[in-house]
Structure 1
Amino acid sequence: MDRRTSRLKCRTRQSELLILLRRRGKNTAGTGGADTRGAYATGGNVLITGASSGIGRATAVHLAACGFDVIATSRDASRLDEMLAEAEGLSGSVAGVELDINSDAEVARVMPALIERRGAMEALVNNAGFGLWGPVETLSDAELKAQFETNFFAAVRMTQAVLPAMIRRRRGTIVNISSVLGRIGTPFNGAYVSSKFALEGISESLKTEVQPFGVRVAMVEPGLFRTNFPDNSIRGAAADSDTVYSPYIGRYHLNRDMFHRFGGDPARVARVVHKVITSPAPNFRNPVGIDARSATLAARMLPERVYWRLLSKVTMRH
């Protein structure tokens, strides 16, 4: 999606929101500018983790084109250079920040200073994550802990860092980038799946906890998209061992190809994130892509035995 198209989509979306708000008679007068039911946003600070590539990068550029001031984080700031160049000259801004979100000490040092300098976050997009694949039987404790540290604990850590300022303003949105695999489990993805299930579970609890303070929480659940996620996924140390699972693991390579052959444009996910942040009443769960919507619908609607038989037939052939 080019910059002109991105700007046009933003203007159209903002016009739709203004019309909707007028129809509903929303007015924040007398509340210090805050709508405790969850005010929509058309600008302000948005912090995105894992913004150097893929969905994070697409979201940073799209939100900057829509007038937001994006704070894009990466463990290695040099990896943000291409994204920063792409975002140059947009109506909003993008600032790169080097931040290891897996470090309690670093988050505790960087985030308060960042909020003091830039102001509270209008939204936090917890996007950073990676995949770990291999049979559950062969995964080590260290591998599982590393998976959860980035995909789950880091998201909680960042959420805790921005929430106090959001609650004081009675305004803000937490967007957790989950996955269709945060709703359904598939073979050899047990580590990744469980980390996303955990993220979805804590997000459900968080949503009701912060709702009285005007803070919204939403999940974005992509299916297959053209990113470097499968290439950056880590193989469990024992995944290539000759085991009873070996004939089935070969199908994983087909799944890797599917990301590149059939995956959607990450800009679609970015547009959904923008919709969540700007909507007066965002959906809690937002599956993105026909594969994500179809899979979650099948899991919900099919009889349990039929669903598991179908899943096994599709994923465990060799």
Structure 2
Amino acid sequence: MGCRLGRRASLLKCRTRQSELLILLRRRRKNTADTSGGADTRGAYAAGGNVLITGASSGIGRATAVYLAACGFDVIATSRDASRLDGLLAEAAGLSGSINGVELDINSDAEVARVVPTLIERRGAMEALVNNAGFGLWGPVETLSDAELKAQFETNFFAAVRMTQAALPAMIQRRRGTIVNISSVLGRLGTPFNGAYVSSKFALEGISESLKTEVQPFGVRVTMVEPGLFRTNFPDNTIRGAEADGESVYSPYIGRYHLNRDMFHRFGGDPARVARVVHKVITSPAPNFRNPVGIDARSATLAARVLPERVFWRILSKATMRH
């Protein structure tokens, strides 16, 4: 009898938490509904100024550059290959702000240390830095090499830290500025075959938490933007860390990964939605530290917080490891 009552109590507790999840999700959707509309700069922390965006040649970086320029910001769009910015610069015609392209290898200590201070000296104070550049590395953790993992962290983590360190002195001296780190919903939960990417985003989120507290006394804000599925070339640019042949123990699950990858293109949201959230955190007098974007990102983070841990991971495993 005691075991039966215990199971009933556990089931009731689980259902109660599921109800709480639905209520929280509805509230979150209502509170974030304004991000789908146009920009409102009334009472804004910043309504213009210089914003540097890394990885601006495509995807979320490109959409953010265009949106911020349309809202009156002067965007410094960077890419490792300046020729990839030509199309973006053409889009800037007629916008109230501007977009200027700069070739910058964010993985180079010397180049970042030279270019960023020079940009600040020539163009003036930087209102915000958007660390967006990154790529995905796919493969079972067992098969990932040290070199692959180091390359993943070099771009997704160390480059963001490097850019932040270069931009911070001027922001602290001015006692004003915003660091926006583009993370991911996977910066809060791990999924199969994404261990390298997930761990790089976990690291970015962790250092952002520390940085936020360190620079707050000097008037500098740090925020995270955590997109879910959006229509970008991210899945196409994901590097396959290991080929799983037919004899691999992981091969039965590979097809599920490719199905999830196709969902980016079929069901992913418009990257402009992420751009609007970036604009919101830059202009808000009191931005949230974490800003999940997309119903999938908000649902996943709320589910991880509300559902019992064992239930959440069982659901995630069934959703991602079926074959």
Q: TM-score range by the shorter chain?
A: 0.7 to 0.9
SS at match of 2:121: helix
Shift of residue 238, structure 1, vs aligned partner:
4.0
Partner Cα separation in structure 1 for residue 65 and residue 177 of structure 2: 17
Distance 1:102 1:14, change over 3 A: farther
Q: Deviations over 1:257-311 (max 9, x none)?
A: 1000100000000000000000000000000000000000111111011011111
- Structure 1: 5+ residue stretches without partners: none
Shift of residue 23, structure 1, vs aligned partner:
24
| Map of 1:83 onto structure 2 | 88
**Maintained 8 Å contact 1:210/1:216:** yes
Distance 1:254 1:24, change over 3 A: closer
What is the TM-score when the length of structure 2 is the normalising length?
Answer: 0.86
**Maintained 8 Å contact 1:225/1:259:** yes
Distance 1:290 1:175, change over 3 A: same
Q: Deviations over 1:141-162 (max 9, x none)?
A: 0000000000000000000000
Distance 1:157 1:3, change over 3 A: farther
Partner Cα separation in structure 2 for residue 140 and residue 114 of structure 1: 37
**Maintained 8 Å contact 1:99/1:110:** yes
Partner Cα separation in structure 2 for residue 301 and residue 68 of structure 1: 39
SS at match of 1:47: strand
Q: Deviations over 1:71-96 (max 9, x none)?
A: 00000000001111112220000000
| Map of 1:316 onto structure 2 | 321
**Maintained 8 Å contact 2:50/2:127:** yes
Tell me which stretches of 4 or more aligned residues in structure 1 moved more than 3 Å: 1-39, 237-242
Partner Cα separation in structure 1 for residue 265 and residue 193 of structure 2: 20
**Maintained 8 Å contact 1:108/1:161:** yes
Partner Cα separation in structure 2 for residue 296 and residue 58 of structure 1: 24
- Structure 2: 5+ residue stretches without partners: none
**Maintained 8 Å contact 1:10/1:66:** no
SS at match of 2:126: coil
Partner Cα separation in structure 1 for residue 256 and residue 234 of structure 2: 17
Partner Cα separation in structure 1 for residue 27 and residue 60 of structure 2: 33
1:15 to 4, 15, 19: 19
Partner Cα separation in structure 2 for residue 299 and residue 10 of structure 1: 13
Distance 1:226 1:21, change over 3 A: closer
- The more displaced of 187-196 and 26-35 is 26-35
Partner Cα separation in structure 1 for residue 56 and residue 194 of structure 2: 23
Partner Cα separation in structure 2 for residue 303 and residue 220 of structure 1: 25
Distance 1:21 1:211, change over 3 A: farther
Q: Deviations over 1:216-253 (max 9, x none)?
A: 00000000000000000000034457310111122111
Partner Cα separation in structure 2 for residue 3 and residue 65 of structure 1: 56
Count the aligned residue pairs. Answer: 318
Shift of residue 118, structure 1, vs aligned partner:
0.8
**Maintained 8 Å contact 1:36/1:213:** no
SS at match of 2:133: coil
What is the TM-score when the length of structure 1 is the normalising length?
Answer: 0.87
Distance 1:250 1:68, change over 3 A: same
**Maintained 8 Å contact 2:69/2:97:** yes
**Maintained 8 Å contact 2:17/2:306:** no
**Maintained 8 Å contact 1:171/1:215:** yes
SS at match of 1:25: helix
**Maintained 8 Å contact 1:36/1:212:** no
